[in-house]
Amino acid sequence: MLRIVFSIKLRTILIFLVSFFVLATTCYGSVSQYASQYKTKKYYSLLSTIKKAAKQRNRAYTLTELYILYYSYLQTGQITKANHYFHAIQASSSVVVRRVTYNTTMSYLYSTKSYDSLISLFHVVLNEHDAFLNARVLVLLYDTFKHYTNKPKLAKTLRWFFLNYPKFQKDQRLMLLYLQSLPKGSNEYKNILLKYWVVASHSKFKAAYRKQLKQVKIYKTTSAYFQDIIEHMRNQLRYREYKYIQQYVPIYLKKFPNVSEKQIQELQDIFFRSFVYKSHWYRMIWFFQRTQNYNMFHLTPADVISWQAYAYLKVRSITKGTRLVNLLKSKGYKDLDRHYHLLADYWLEHDKYDTAKVYLERMISSEKLRVNQLADNNWYLFQMYNIHNNKKGMENIIDWAEGQRFHYAADGARFCYWAIQKKLGNRDANDCYSRYPYSYYGIVSKYKTNSNGALLNSPKWSVPSANISDLLTQNQKEELNFILFMYLSNNNKSIDKFITWRLPIAQGKAYFIELCKVLSKTQNYYQLYNLSTSIFKGNKTIYKLAKEDDSINDLRRIALTYSYPKVYFNLVLKYAKESNVSPYLILAVMRAESNFRYYVRSNAGALGLLQLMYSTAREVGRKLHISVTRSKLLKPEVNLRIGAYYLHTLLRYYKGNLYYTIAAYNAGYGRVRKWRKSTAGKQGKNYFVESIRFDDTRNYVKHVLQNYYIYQFLYK
């Protein structure tokens, strides 16, 4: 059994030791050698190698060596020695190494059924305040206590956790375990039973407990218990128990008629969300047709008509919905933005632009819309004015856009680009590009495209080749070597959860960039994508870091190459040449479809790097004379070969037009045919993109083209 000992004297000694340990660093060669032996489980050989290396250096162990020594002694059953290195790591300043060690130790203690030591370790681990470790503690806590036979000790331990860590009170499995450890009929049992009912899913709350709950006196009180009812219903919304909510909320409101207006409003919000989340529009219509049902919510007649109108519009009963909306407008009811949105969307879909324009103008006049909602509505209205050649209307919208600080760069770039296209305002292409350099319209506003979407005049971006490893502290260098070791030794799952973007950014720009290099070196492209793209999210911490010695754009440009890596590039080049397709188009699609994960399976059944549907892949496979199975499609070589040829087929069908090709890759030939017909000969191919009725497809086309252009900037 691994003993966890915490004494002030021991901690003082260990902190001194670790401060001495960090004087040394491990070169990549040593890390690779350690990883090779680690993968083959040659633990005794590892111990010998590390001790020999430390002796030759005449220095103490590095963080990586400390972890390997700890793990090797653990695996060879030398617990006392393992315990020594565990404490050394625990006292270190490396957050990553410490958290990985805690995770490893918890797994080991659980596997060896050392439950008392494991529970002691939980207290230490929770002080790390790490989301992954907290979730891991919850799982192991539940599994550990399932094996406890001493119910009084179980109840005492669980009580301690519930009092000191309130988040555990929201875990229904632990709550049930705690309940089962208590003597029935005790006051504590009654209190925990009520709390369990609040957090538990209705479908998992046993009838026996429900019967016991009715006997609890607190169940019959009003104000205190009603707040528990609200929290219970809020949890049912999270568990998607929609029908239960719709059935029991009216019952509780009838049972407690004297609760506060605020509590009624809270329960009303939960009740109506259950209809909206499940799209139970016909059930909502039925509900409002029975007057006695909605009186309990203290709704005004106008509120009732508003909900009825919204439900009718959702089920496409446009005549009934419009009549009710007009009735509300005539009575001065102002909260109609969501109704106008549905009506405008319906008439836009049916190409009735004049009617849609009326509702869009009404929405824009509202004072309740957020900036991003106004951006969408103004954009639709801009399209209406464009169709009717209403230059004054377009100018007014561009003037509005000039004074806005948009939540999303894509919104601002869209207005900027189309102002240039329609010759409105004083914007020029360079201005749009400098304001929104990493957005789709920011790019195409500076570098024109031909009719098929190929980017003209595209120079190679100059990315600063800064060598910033010298800016790292010794501890940071050792921590990066440890991360490299974990990836080289195939411990991806053990380290991935601790390489979130917040942690590297908090350690400074140099650390952030060097970690990107480690992920690139070990071909962990998905993690690299997540980490490097975080630099473009506008986080305040990033801006603060950027001011250390470079501008924000310099930091972004350094991260850009890691955000757009040349993944599986030998295979990409091979099949791009074979299919006569640009390798950068293949990379662009891969980045948008799978974020470079070869193992991804979508809910719709798409597979692999290029997210190919099995039926499509089989058809393409027959043309290439290769057999295709679902398991084969998860192999990069097969997926890239079939995907490249499919892109070639689409490009040939659309005569090299990238806009149509990418739209068809996402939505199919039939829908593209319809969109082409409605935009034939009108104002260029970006007008075609904006006319795509599916938000997902429209954003997908922009995303792939943006990827394609940036890949060309970086590498062509």
Q: Which residues are identified as catalytic?
A: 593
How far, rounded to the nearest angstrom, does the alpha carbon of residue 444 sit from its chain's CA centroid?
28
- Which of 546, 523, 519 has the alpha carbon at shortest distance from 535? 546
Q: Give the pair of three-digit tokens for residue 161.
A: 């956790």
Q: Where are the beta strands (DSSP E) in 70-123?
A: none
CB 654 within 8 A of CB 669: no
- Quick one: DSSP state of residue 463? -
Please report how the helices 187-199 and 207-214 are oriented relative to each other, as an axis angle in degrees rounded to 10: 120
Helix (H, G, I), strand (E, B) or coil at 410: helix
How far apart CA 168 and CA 688 sit, in angstroms, is: 52
Give residue 143's identity as a one-letter amino acid code. D
How far, rounded to the nearest angstrom, does the alpha carbon of residue 84 sit from its chain's CA centroid?
39
- Quick one: DSSP state of residue 460? P
Sign of the dihedral defined by the CA atoms of residues 150, 153, 158, 159, in that order = positive
CB 47 within 8 A of CB 37: no
Q: Give the pair of three-digit tokens for residue 180.
A: 């089962």
User: Across-strand partners of 455?
Assistant: 449
CB 651 within 8 A of CB 661: yes
Tokens 């407990």 label which residue?
Answer: 209
Give residue 13's identity as a one-letter amino acid code. I
Q: How many residues does the chain have?
A: 716
How far apart CA 268 and CA 700 sit, in angstroms, is: 37
CB 647 within 8 A of CB 585: yes
How far apart CA 613 and CA 551 sit, in angstroms, is: 43
> Please, is 640 exposed, middle or buried when counting C-beta atoms within 10 Å of its C-beta (0-12, 13-18, 19+)?
buried
The CA-CA-CA angle for residues 531, 410, 335, to 5°, reads 115
- Quick one: DSSP state of residue 683? S
How far, rounded to the nearest angstrom, does the alpha carbon of residue 26 sit from its chain's CA centroid?
34
- Which of 57, 60, 58, 84 has the alpha carbon at shortest distance from 70? 84
How far apart CA 318 and CA 354 sit, in angstroms, is: 16
Q: Give the pair of three-digit tokens for residue 599.
A: 């193992």
